[in-house]
């Protein structure tokens, strides 16, 4: 609704994104669904393992390719997720 109101006044919208590759892809999907999308902001806090969280490369040469198939288009790398979990947390059941 906010993007729609902004569009009525010719104001572009940029998704604020300081999250994982999964959320980055979700933000990109939102951007493709609104006519006044400008960009997806990207901050990974310089985590060396940010890109390892998913099997696919999310950002290539500053662009995110949105897949035509259903879903976000990324697959979690469960080994990386488990490696970087908060102490005391357990990995959810994959089934």
Q: Give the pLDDT confidence of 45-77 residue by residue, as tens digits.
A: 678 899 999 999 999 999 999 999 999 999 999
Q: Is the pLDDT of residue 2 over 70?
A: yes
Q: Is the pLDDT of residue 92 over 90?
A: no
Inter-residue contact 65 to 82 (CB < 8 Å): no
Three-class secondary structure of residue 89 per DSSP: coil
For residue 67, the model assigns a pLDDT of: 94
Mean pLDDT of 32-49: 89
Three-class secondary structure of residue 31 per DSSP: helix
Q: How far is CA 82 from CA 6, 45, 88, in A?
A: 40, 19, 11
For residue 95, the model assigns a pLDDT of: 58
Predicted structure pTM score: 0.85
Inter-residue contact 6 to 15 (CB < 8 Å): no
Provide the residue ranges of all domains of the chain, joining segments of one domain with +.
1-84
Stretch among 16-20, 41-45, 57-61 having the lowest mean pLDDT = 41-45
């Amino acid at each position: 609704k906010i993007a729609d109101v902004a569009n009525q006044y010719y104001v572009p919208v940029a998704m604020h994104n300081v999250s994982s590759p999964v959320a980055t892809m979700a933000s990109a999907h939102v951007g493709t669904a609104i006519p006044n999308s400008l960009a997806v902001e990207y901050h990974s806090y310089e985590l060396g393992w940010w890109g390892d969280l998913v099997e696919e490369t999310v950002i290539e040469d500053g662009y995110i390719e949105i897949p035509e198939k259903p879903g976000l288009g990324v697959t979690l790398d469960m080994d990386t997720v488990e490696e970087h979990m908060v102490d005391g947390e357990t990995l959810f059941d994959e089934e």
